[in-house]
Chains A and B, each alone.
Chain A
């Protein structure tokens, strides 16, 4: 087996509960675990899907992978090296090697910067001169399927799908080999979700980009991922190829997740009443 590109070893992330001033001294502050012992190995060229509901810790995990957050315990390895130990040039290689695409297309772009400036800054941050960066812009836009006309626009003048493409282009501009996409399509309409998901798939096939696709939508993830991890309450409860996870789920949580996906007419005819009663009695 090849060496994993990105590896998580028993990652924990705990947050101290906010307490009043007096309680801070009198009582021991209880910690809340957002991520509770996650280990993962992502080989190069894989699309790994991380599925779970809000609050399960998947976004925290994403921020740990890209280095925006430090884990409370455990280790993140990039190309076999602990990222906490990296210094100087190695640190910079990791920094550029792992990039992120965000969920909220509004806050992920600076509202006062035209698209050209946002992308130029990214290219310059990679180490290109301004002239080189200007030359690199058209192919970069073509890669994400955007027209060069949009360069002169401000983020609010773009549609959600276009903004997400700009977000992807900005990440690609740095020249990463791992892309962590945190809910990249959940704020988009169904008709546009496919466009973005297919773009990620193309980037994986054409550039060999390793992608970690985080989503609450099992249907989207199972479509393009090579492997899926199901996350619940800070842990990965099930992991495997999509066909196995979908059709032979082992963990009860995975089964709940699958059962909850709307099935339209199908579920209306058969089991709507049965599910209804189960769900009302179930946990909130």
Chain B
């Protein structure tokens, strides 16, 4: 693509700490999302994938801050003060792992959507209600007119996630950030929510940043995938390439240990060891201690970048 990306993250660092003791949890992430594209961000817990998303939305928890780097959305620098608040909910929508905490428990879900429509788009009451019904229909909620009157606690987990999505896309955002939207759900409900997201994307042509720890899930919806380890993107490629010819040993090992229904028995493949703790990232390649292809250079020098078109891996082994 030749046009400018919709979202561009350059060298993003997010640090955790207090007073003088700051540790980088995100250590230089570069990411691009073009219009209408679905990009997956995969990693284990603690890899910095959620922090990256929260940094984009300006919703970092207390004790965390963007220490350097830039986040540019359609030419607007989101790290500048006051910018992101205006875009959030209007041009950038988001859904989270726990929709219950994101919905107001005291107001019917329909009201929350119509309120948002009336503030952002200045719709009249009747127009807003019609639009809310259409949105419920889009996210696959049967009998939308009745469900608009429901309160968040009256809905099931899958339903809440649908309402959350309807709310997130209500104002025709250009980007939807989905942070582990199905992790708290059962597999059958997860499948429904994934199908719903896929439909929303096809009908609205919206760009999605899909964050998950489940590679199989990411492969179902994404065009491009970035794999994160210890606060850094270690491999980035189109989804077919990543799954067909992964270059980073971490991606390979992660793919191998994702549980599949292939009828195989016996011990499960694993990645030995543990991810590095915050503030204790080893020198060289942070994955080297757990890597099955590591050699001398990996523990000594920060790995170089291997590239082949849009396929990128940060690994000495790939460069050999």
Contact = CB atoms under 8 A, between A and B. Distances in A.
A160 B44 CA distance: 12
A135 interface: no
A265 B268 contact: no
A219 B260 contact: yes
A194 B128 CA distance: 49
A48 to B, nearest CB: 14
A279 B257 contact: no
Max chain A C-beta neighbours (<10 A), residue from B140, B191, B270: B191
A227 B263 CA distance: 13
Nearest to B250: A191
A192 B47 CA distance: 14
Nearest to B254: A191
A213 B240 CA distance: 34
A164 B190 CA distance: 25
A165 to B, nearest CB: 11
Interface string A193-213: 111011001000000000000
A55 B118 CA distance: 38
A197 B261 contact: no
Interface residues of B, number: 48
B198 interface: yes
Max chain B C-beta neighbours (<10 A), residue from A224, A257, A259, A280: A280
A65 to B, nearest CB: 22
B235 to A, nearest CB: 15
Contact of B140 (A201, A260, A265, A280): A280
Interface in A213-260: 216-220, 222-224, 242-243, 246-247, 256-260
A264 B261 CA distance: 12
B2 interface: no
By secondary structure, the B interface counts as: helix
A220 B260 CA distance: 8
A193 B267 CA distance: 11
B3 interface: no
Interface string B166-188: 00000000000000000000111
Nearest to A258: B261
B20 to A, nearest CB: 22
A261 interface: yes
Interface stretch (B62-70, B80-88, B211-219, B297-305): B211-219
A282 B142 CA distance: 10
A193 B259 contact: yes
B261 A198 contact: no
Contacts of A259: 191
A159 B221 CA distance: 30
B302 to A, nearest CB: 22
B195 interface: yes
A191 B268 contact: no
Contacts of A218: 187, 261
Contacts of B75: none
B219 A268 contact: yes
A262 interface: yes
A191 B219 contact: no
Nearest to A241: B265
A216 B268 contact: no
A256 to B, nearest CB: 6
Interface of B: 44-45, 140, 156, 158-159, 186-192, 194-196, 198-199, 213-221, 239-240, 243, 253-254, 257-261, 263-272, 274
Given A53-B186, A191-B254, 11 more contacts: A53-B189, A161-B274, A189-B213, A190-B44, A190-B215, A216-B186, A219-B259, A219-B261, A222-B261, A258-B261, A276-B199
30 contacts: A53-B187, A53-B188, A189-B45, A190-B44, A190-B257, A190-B259, A191-B270, A194-B268, A194-B269, A194-B270, A194-B271, A195-B270, A198-B267, A198-B270, A219-B261, A220-B268, A224-B268, A257-B187, A260-B187, A261-B216, A263-B260, A264-B243, A268-B221, A272-B220, A276-B195, A276-B196, A279-B191, A279-B192, A279-B195, A280-B195
